[in-house]
Amino acid sequence: MQEADKSLLVVVRHGPYQGQLAREALDAVLTAAAFEQPVSLLFMDDGVFQLTPNQDGSAIDAKNLATMLAVLPMYDVDRVYVELDSLNLRAISPESLTLPATPVGGHALRDLFVNNAHLLSF
């Protein structure tokens, strides 16, 4: 019997401080990674604001989300993608992001959804 494909794509589409969504997305990614499941992370729409520099969550009594995302490499999460259109629309340059993320669009973007067995959106 073939082993079930556990690959997971976590799609992050909301800003860093809108309710608990960003935290929940990070928890989902870290949990999958802690159990050594293949996990990819895609930031699109306002989700790309999670990767912008100079965040100071303490101003609104929240944990700094960009700081927390920096833990991803420690968990060996290196498949991090960011949608190019979302960046362009918001005048954000890929070089300014707080994490190394691969810009994707078109077919490469679609392939992320097709090639991962499970999708989780936040």
Partner 1 sequence: MNKIEVEGATVELDREGFLRDLHQWSRQVAVELARREQIDLGDEHWEIIDLLRSFYKEYKVSPAMRILVKQAGIKLGREKGSSLHLLRLFPGSPAKVASKIAGLPKPTNCL
Partner 2 sequence: MILHIVNKSPFQSDCLNSCLRIISPEDALLLIEDGVYAALDTPRGLASLAPAIPVYALEADCRARGILDQLHASVKPTDDHGFVELTLAYAKSQSWF
Query: What tokens does 29 get?
Result: 């990614």
The whole-angstrom separation of Cα 18 and Cα 1 is 43
With contacts defined by CB under 8 A, how many residues of the chain interact with partner 1? Answer: 15
Task: Please report, as residue ranges, which positions from 15 to 34 form the binding site for partner 1 (by CB under 8 A).
Answer: 26-27, 30-31, 34
Binding at 108: pick from partner 2, partner 1, none (beta carbon under 5-8 Å per type): none
Binding at 36: pick from partner 2, partner 1, none (beta carbon under 5-8 Å per type): partner 1
Task: Please report, as residue ranges, which positions from 88 to 117 form the binding site for partner 1 (by CB under 8 A).
Answer: none
| Angle, alpha carbons 72-8-111 (nearest 5°) | 105
